[in-house]
């Protein structure tokens, strides 16, 4: 009896299921990527960040000023990390990325308040990521109407008509709140992560599929020499990509490039080296180029989501921030935005460069070890 179309289709179905079961890495990616997306988007992503770090330049110590600082913390948007004595110290903390806000209370604040002269509090916000600080700025401005209600109600000369003081907002590094200022410097890291890891991850798998791996293994070279020879071309390609992006940012999108370029390109070199080390490690694990691309996607997705490129980093829960801090892209975004928009130099850059170098050395050790196993 000849087979029916249904039985033939069923046979192909069973054959495909057996093939999927044998390809455990592909099956794992099919199950892992949706679960990872559910966890990250469901628990880690938050477009309304709270508890943003702020510093206070307190030049007037009174019950009124302390009440306003307490109101900022009670709003949930600000986490006051203490006070500083000088304006230069406060600005350094913001340029280094340690704080998002500087609250400056002038020395004559209480005197003007009691004289109904509407004093001014200066709120400086790090606007390199406008969406991250937008709601916090709105909350700080609204507090001008409510924070002194109890303190002024018993005062014979209490304020009438309008808020008792003004919160003057200064959005630093991006006063117009342009999205390009935030996105384009971040694109340097995102594009380098995707392209360099994907290209490098196919370095060894391509040799295996083309049948030239045996010739490579027979050469009198060490695993580290093979690795360096494989990744150096992609480092050069990465520099070429960065040059295109920086030129387009400056000439096409009018993004100001303020900081020293040697700091940016040295950081780019370290960041590319970390990425190609990851890609090379993937190439030692993968059996073919398809698996290498799948592993690249599995790494790239959380790296992009947890870096602060698409969503505010400080709006994520603590466990997500800890995971993001282990990935090079998060630190490189701070470096790129700091150098391009803030004019940061080496002093503000190196604290974020150290985690990238540690990541590179760790992954390089894994890659060299994995390559030795392929010699058996």
**What's the pLDDT band for 189 if we cut at 50, 70, 90?**
very high
Q: How far apart are CA 102 and CA 53, in angstroms?
A: 9
Q: What is the pLDDT of residue 149?
A: 64
Structure tokens at 311: 């969503």
CA dihedral 334, 337, 342, 344 (to 10 degrees): 60
pLDDT of residue 154: 53
Specify the pLDDT at position 104: 93
Q: How confident is the model at residue 371 (pLDDT cuts 50, 70, 90)?
A: low
Dump pLDDT digits (tens) for 18-41: 776 776 666 666 777 777 777 777
Q: What is the pLDDT of residue 364?
A: 86
Q: Are 106 and 138 in contact (CB under 8 A)?
A: no
Whether the predicted model's global pTM rises above the 0.75 cut: yes
Residue 150: predicted pLDDT: 65
- 191-249 pLDDT tens trace: 999 888 888 888 777 777 776 666 666 677 776 777 777 778 888 888 888 989 899 88
Mean pLDDT rounded to a whole number for the chain: 83
- Which residue, chain included where needed, has tokens 């920086």? 246
In the predicted model, what is the mean pLDDT of residues 308-336? 91
Q: Which two tokens stand for residue 314?
A: 């400080």
Residue 330 has pLDDT above 90, yes or no: yes
Whole-number Å distance between alpha carbons of 316 and 287: 35
Q: What are phi and psi of 19, to 5 degrees?
A: -65, -40
Please, which pLDDT band fits residue 362 given cuts at 50, 70 and 90?
A: very high
Task: Return the domain boundaries, the chain.
Answer: 52-172, 179-373
The residue among 51 and 227 whose pLDDT is bigger is 51
Please provide the DSSP assignment of 321-335 as one string. HHHHHTSHHHHHHHH
The per-residue pLDDT for range 278-288, each reduced to its tens digit, is: 988 888 887 77
Give the torsion sign (CA, 191, 192, 198, 203): positive
- Percent share of the chain, pLDDT over 90: 25
**Residue 375 confidence (pLDDT):** 44
CA distance 299 to 197: 9
What number of residues does the chain have?
376
Q: What pLDDT does residue 117 have?
A: 85
Residue 351 neighbours by CB under 8 Å, 6+ apart: 96
Alpha-carbon gap, residue 279 to 75, rounded angstroms? 44
| CA atoms of 245 and 131, how far apart (whole Å) | 23
Question: What is the C-alpha separation between 61 and 203, in angstroms, rounded?
Answer: 63
Cβ atoms of 315 and 47 closer than 8 Å:
yes
Q: What is the pLDDT of residues 99-128, one digit of tens each?
A: 999 999 999 898 888 888 889 999 999 988
| More confident position, 161 or 233 | 233
Task: Tell me the three-class secondary structure of 173-222, residue by residue.
Answer: CCCCCCHHHHHHHHHHHHHHHHHHHHHHHCHHHHHHHHCCHHHHHHCCCC
Plot region of 107 (φ>0 → left; ψ -120 to 50 → alpha; else → beta)? alpha
52-172: what CATH class? alpha beta
| CA end-to-end distance (rounded Å), the chain | 50
Mean pLDDT of the region 293-319: 87
Mean pLDDT within 48-64: 89
> Smallest Cα–Cα separation from 306: which of 292, 289, 323?
323
Q: Taking the CA atoms of the chain, what radius of gyration do you get in angstroms? A: 27
- Quote the CA–CA distance of 339 and 213 in Å, as a whole number: 42
pLDDT band at 373 (very low <50, low <70, confident <90, very high): very low
Q: How confident is the model over 3-20, as a mean pLDDT?
A: 75
Could you tell me the two tokens for 93?
A: 């903390």
């Amino acid at each position: 009896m000849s087979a029916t179309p249904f039985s033939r289709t069923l046979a192909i179905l069973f054959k495909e299921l057996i093939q999927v079961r044998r390809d455990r890495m592909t099956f794992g990616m099919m199950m892992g990527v949706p679960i990872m997306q559910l966890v990250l988007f469901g628990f880690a992503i938050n477009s309304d960040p709270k508890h943003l770090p702020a510093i206070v330049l307190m030049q007037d110590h009174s019950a009124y000023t302390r009440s306003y600082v307490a109101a900022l913390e009670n709003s949930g948007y600000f986490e006051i990390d203490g006070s500083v004595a000088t304006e230069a110290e406060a600005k350094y903390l913001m340029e280094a990325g340690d704080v998002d806000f500087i609250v400056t209370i002038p020395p004559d604040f209480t005197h003007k308040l009691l004289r109904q002269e509407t004093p001014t509090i200066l709120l400086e916000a790090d606007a390199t990521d406008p969406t991250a600080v937008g709601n916090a700025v709105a909350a700080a401005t609204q507090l001008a109407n409510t924070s002194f209600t109890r303190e002024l109600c018993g005062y014979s000369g209490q304020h009438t008509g309008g808020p008792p003081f003004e919160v003057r907002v200064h959005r630093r590094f991006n006063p117009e709140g342009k999205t390009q200022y935030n996105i384009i410097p971040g694109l340097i890291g995102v594009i380098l992560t995707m392209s360099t890891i994907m290209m490098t991850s196919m370095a060894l798998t391509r040799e295996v599929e083309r049948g030239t791996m045996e010739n490579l293994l027979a050469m009198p070279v060490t695993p580290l020499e093979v690795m360096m020879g494989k990744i150096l071309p992609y480092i050069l390609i990465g520099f070429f990509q960065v040059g295109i992006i920086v030129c387009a940012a400056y000439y096409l999108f009018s993004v100001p490039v303020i900081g020293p370029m040697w700091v940016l390109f040295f950081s780019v070199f370290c960041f590319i080296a970390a990425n190609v080390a990851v890609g090379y490690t993937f190439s030692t694990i993968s059996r073919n180029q398809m698996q290498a691309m799948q592993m690249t996607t599995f790494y790239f997705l959380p790296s992009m989501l947890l870096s602060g490129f698409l969503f505010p980093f400080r709006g994520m829960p603590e466990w997500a921030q800890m995971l993001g801090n282990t990935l090079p892209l998060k630190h490189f975004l701070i470096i790129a935005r700091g150098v391009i928009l803030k004019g940061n130099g080496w002093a503000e850059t190196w604290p974020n460069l150290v985690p990238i170098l540690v990541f590179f050395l760790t992954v390089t050790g894994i890659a060299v070890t994995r390559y030795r196993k392929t010699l058996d």
